[in-house]
Amino acid sequence: MTGTLRLAAVQMHWRAADYADGATFAARVVDLARQAAAGAAGPVLVGFPELVGLPLLATAAGVADRLEEGLAPALFGWAARRPGRWLASAWRHRVGPLPALVAELAPAAFALQRDAFAAAARAAGATVVAGSAFLPTVAFEAARGLHVVDARVRNVALVFVPNGALVGRAAKAYLTAGAERRVGLTAGRVEDLPVLPGAAGRLAVAVCLDGWYHHVLERFDGRGAEVLVQPSANDAAWHRPWPPDPTRTEEDAWLRSGLRAGLQGRASLRYGVNPMLVGDLAPLAPRGRSAIVANADLVPGAGLPGWGPGLLALAPDDVSEAVVTADVPLPPSLGAGEAVGGATAKAASGR
pLDDT at 143 over 90: yes
Mean pLDDT across 95-113 = 87
pLDDT tens per residue across span 158-185: 999 999 999 999 999 999 887 787 777 8
β-strand 195-196 against 203-205: which pairing, if any? Answer: antiparallel
Q: What is the pLDDT of residue 241?
A: 97
Q: Which of 51-55, 89-93, 149-153 is modeled with the greatest confidence? A: 51-55
Burial of 7 (0-12, 13-18, 19+ CB in 10 A): buried
* Residue 44, H or E segment: strand 44-47
- C-alpha–C-alpha distance, residues 246 and 263, integer Å: 24
Q: What is the pLDDT of residue 168?
A: 97
> DSSP secondary-structure letter at 206?
-
β-strand 44-47 against 341-347: which pairing, if any? Answer: unpaired
Q: What is the pLDDT of residue 98?
A: 77
Q: What is the pLDDT of residue 72?
A: 86
Cis geometry, peptide bond prior to residue 305 (ω within 30 degrees of 0): no
Q: Where are the domains of the chain?
A: 4-346
Helix orientation angle between 71-80 and 97-124, rounded to the nearest 10 degrees: 120
- C-alpha–C-alpha distance, residues 133 and 147, integer Å: 17
Q: What is the pLDDT of residue 345?
A: 59
Contact partners, residue 151, CB within 8 Å, separation at least 6 = 93, 94, 95, 99, 100, 102, 103, 136
Q: What is the pLDDT of residue 26?
A: 98
pLDDT tens per residue across span 230-269: 999 999 999 999 999 999 999 999 999 999 999 999 999 9
Confidence (pTM): 0.93
State the Rg of the chain over Cα.
19
Spatial contact of 131 and 49, defined as CB atoms under 8 Å apart:
yes
CATH class in words for 4-346: alpha beta
Mean pLDDT across 24-39 = 98
